[in-house]
Amino acid sequence: MTCFEPEALGNLIEGIEFHRFYFDGNRKNQVHTTMLNPNVHIIGEDAACVAYVKLTQFLDRNGEAHTRQSQESRVWSKKQGRWVCVHVHRSTQPSTNTTVSEF
């Protein structure tokens, strides 16, 4: 299943996980995150960058559902055989909507 709908903030949603947030019974204190359009750039053997759109669904203090969108990128470095995130960038749209920290 795919869909475009207001709650997806103009993004194409694939599958039903995004919708479960609205239809599952006990949503109190629930936050659901969806990663869209991940793009991975391998930079040699020891570095990589991933960029994606993140949708975060949450309930405000009144129990109303909201969706926030951010664009994120993360730079990873392989150190001593383990992948470590060494940089994160997140951009959001200015909004008067409730933030996740307010629920």
Bigger pLDDT: 90 vs 1: 90
Residues 6+ apart with CB under 8 A from 26: none
Residues 60, 68: Cα–Cα separation, whole Å: 12
Q: Across the strands, what pairs with 69?
A: 55
pLDDT tens figures, 12-65: 888 888 888 777 755 566 888 999 999 999 999 999 999 999 999 998 888 888
Residues 6+ apart with CB under 8 A from 18: 7, 8, 32, 34, 55, 57
Residues 34, 20: Cα–Cα separation, whole Å: 12
Whole-prediction pTM: 0.75
Bigger pLDDT: 31 vs 75: 75
Give domain limits for the chain: 31-92
Instruction: Provide the CATH number for the domain formed by 31-92 in this structure.
Output: 3.10.450.50
Does residue 76 contact residue 45 with C-beta atoms inside 8 Å?
no
